[in-house]
Each structure stands twice: as C-alpha cells, then as structure tokens.
Amino acid sequence: MPRFRAILDTMPAYKPGKAVLTADGRSYKLSSNESPYDPLPSVVEAIAEGARQINRYPDPGCAQLTEAIAQRYDVPVEHVALGAGSVTVAQQLFETVGEPGAEVIYAWRSFEAYPLLADLAGAVSVQVPLADEEHDLDAMAAAVTDRTRMIFVCNPNNPTGVSIRRDRLTAFLDKIPDNILVVLDEAYREYVRDEDVPDGLDFYRERRNVCVLRTFSKAYGLAGLRVGYLIGHEPVAGAVRKVMVPFAVNHLAQIAACASLQAEAELLTRVETVVKERTRVREALIAQGWTVPPTEANFVWLRLGERTMDFAAACAVEGVAVRPFAGEGARVSIGDPEANDAFLKAAAAFL
C-alpha cells in the first residue's frame, strides 16, 4: 500500500451540514449557515453571461475582484488576498506559519475546521476552552509562548454566536507581541448589530500583525461558489497569495462576487430580514424556557450536553436539520419564517 502522512490516521473528516427529509416531504436545512434566499436576479444574470467564457481559465490573480474589494473597504489592492471560501484562505494562513513546533492558538469550541487545518499544516493546536460560551481572552493571551505563530479569533464565534466587544479585544491585542499574527475571522460580520462589537478592519488599520477574514458565502448568498478573502498588510497578504492554489477561485465565482458587491445595498436588505428572524427565534426559544446566548451571527446555539443527539433526532422527525456537536450542543441556522417556525415547534415539543 502507498504510505501516507501519519497524521491522516488520527484526523476526523470535516462534517458538513446535512439535510433531512420526512416521509411526507418536509425538509428544512438549518444545519449549514447559508443564506435562505436565492441569488439576486442581477447576480444570476451576471453568472449566466459569464458562463459563456467557462472554456477559459479564470484570472489567476482575481484582479477585478481584488480591485472591487479594495475599493469597497478603502484598502490598497496589495492588502487583499483571495481563496475558495474563507476556510481555504484560513488554510492558506496555516500553511504560511505551519512547521514542526509552531503553535497556533484558538478558542474551543470554535470553527471546527481550525484543528483540521492546523494538523494538515504541521502546526500544533493550542485550544483554549470557552468561558460562558465566549472567548477567554485572558487565557488565550496567557497561552502565548515563544513558539506561537498565529492566533485565530472567531468574532462572532461559530458555533455559539457570541461576540467580543471592543474594549476586551483591544486589551487582548495589546498583550500580543507584534511578531504573532492575529487573524480576526469575521465570516458573519454583516449580521452584527451590537455597536460595541468592533469592525476588525479598524484593528487591521492600526496594527500590522492583525488581518481580517471575510466571505461571500453567508450574507452574500454565494456559498455554492466559494469565495473568501483576507485583508491584511502586504507581508501577510503577500504570503497568503504565495500559497494560493492556481485558479482556486473559479471564473463564475469571481463574476458573482463582483456583481454582489455592486448589488450590496439590495443584499443587505435581505440580511436585515435574517437579523429580524434571528431576534424572533431567540426570543421565542427563551419564552419556551431555553437558555440561548446572545448571538450576532445568522444562527443560535443551544447548550444541550448529553441530550444533543436526541434533540437533533427530534428535530429531524419534523424535517428540521440542525448541526449537533455530540455531548455539547446544537447550532441552528436562521432560515426563512416557515423553516424557523418548524424548528420552534420541534424545540417546544422536545423541551
């Protein structure tokens, strides 16, 4: 048999959100943090027109999209790096620092791809347990050693939805040496409504060791096309571009992302609808008797412990797919009102 890296024998596969289907055809997929809405007509039209050129390779440098992102956020084009979804940009980041002995710090539980990416890059994961469903920033700062290369801060945190406010994040960054890269993973930034939750780009502009990850998969509704990006100072963005797989962001993805930026005002109106549904769902759950932490993302989190898998099974009976983490809890994405009502019915029955 061929010989593979030993780490593969210990790595669990990434588990994407699944759909469920009842006998009478009901199916509400709330297991993946996707937009519940179809792409805007203008974006679909741009994709359809772009399909005429798919016999050609995509622009390997994503020049038009890079320029559009740079203009949108008023940053130099040299400070933008792209990848096939923000998880792939995260992988590129791990590859820039990963080598034997290098440590990467992140909260746990947080985005479940972090440990997989660290293992693949040959880095050592330093997982710092959450405190009351949020990052324990003091413990994370205390975990820094001379082997620390990078720190991931998921804000809002996936899967709990809890966000870090400005004063706490500022105090944390003040403790981190300038030669350690701090990645603010802001995949859900567009859903944030708490004014005390900072925009990571403010910190990037002030600190050369801070970069920001964002995505077109969530609020922009392009999860199926895979476009993510990083904004960081040139040494950081340049390193990330070096490890990008050639042609990773396909032609239609680049076109759709550019079209989405042009239609941003219309898209963000949809985001506001999701935010209102998020508030309705959380308040309804609390009224039922659940404890639900404040969330600034497009999902809610239920700490269920040993009841987690039973809860997921009960939801599946109603055609609702949630994202369970065995022994911990369940993350439930915000869908359209019909899907949310089906979930609330299942939650009430289980409780």
pLDDT recorded at residue 26: 81
Q: What are phi and psi for residue 8, nearest 5 degrees?
A: -65, -25
Show Cβ contacts of residue 205 under 8 Å, excluding neighbours closer than 6 positions. Answer: none
pLDDT (tens, 9 = 90+) of the chain, 351 residues, equals 888 888 888 877 777 777 877 767 789 999 999 999 988 999 999 999 999 999 999 999 999 999 999 999 999 999 999 999 999 999 999 999 999 999 999 999 999 999 999 999 999 999 999 999 999 999 999 999 999 999 999 999 999 999 999 999 999 999 999 999 999 999 999 999 999 999 999 999 999 999 999 999 999 999 999 999 999 999 999 999 999 999 999 999 999 999 999 999 998 899 999 999 999 999 999 999 999 999 999 999 999 999 999 999 999 999 999 999 999 999 999 999 999 999 999 999 999
pLDDT for residue 13: 73
Residue type, 11: M
- The model carries a pTM of 0.95
165-177 per-position pLDDT tens digit = 999 999 999 999 9
Query: What is the structure's pLDDT at 20?
Result: 79
Around Cβ 213, how many Cβ atoms within 10 Å? 26
pLDDT for 321: 97
Please report the pLDDT score of residue 228 as a whole number. 98
CA distances in angstroms from 95 to 63, 88, 121, 149, listed in the order given: 23, 10, 5, 11
Amino acid 233: pLDDT = 98
Comparing C-alpha atoms, which of 124, 82, 296, 88 is closest to residue 197? Answer: 296
C-alpha triplet 67, 73, 78: angle, nearest 5°: 45
**Residues facing residue 28 across a β-bridge:** 320
Query: What does the alpha-carbon distance between residue 181 and residue 171 come to, in Å, rounded to a whole number?
Result: 16
Q: Are 327 and 306 in contact (CB under 8 A)?
A: yes
| Residue-level length of the chain | 351
pLDDT of residue 21: 73
**pLDDT (0 to 100) of residue 10:** 81
Scan for tokens 């809405």, then name that residue: 37
Q: What is the mean pLDDT of the chain?
A: 95
Q: For residue range 41-57, list pLDDT tens digits in order.
A: 999 999 999 999 999 99
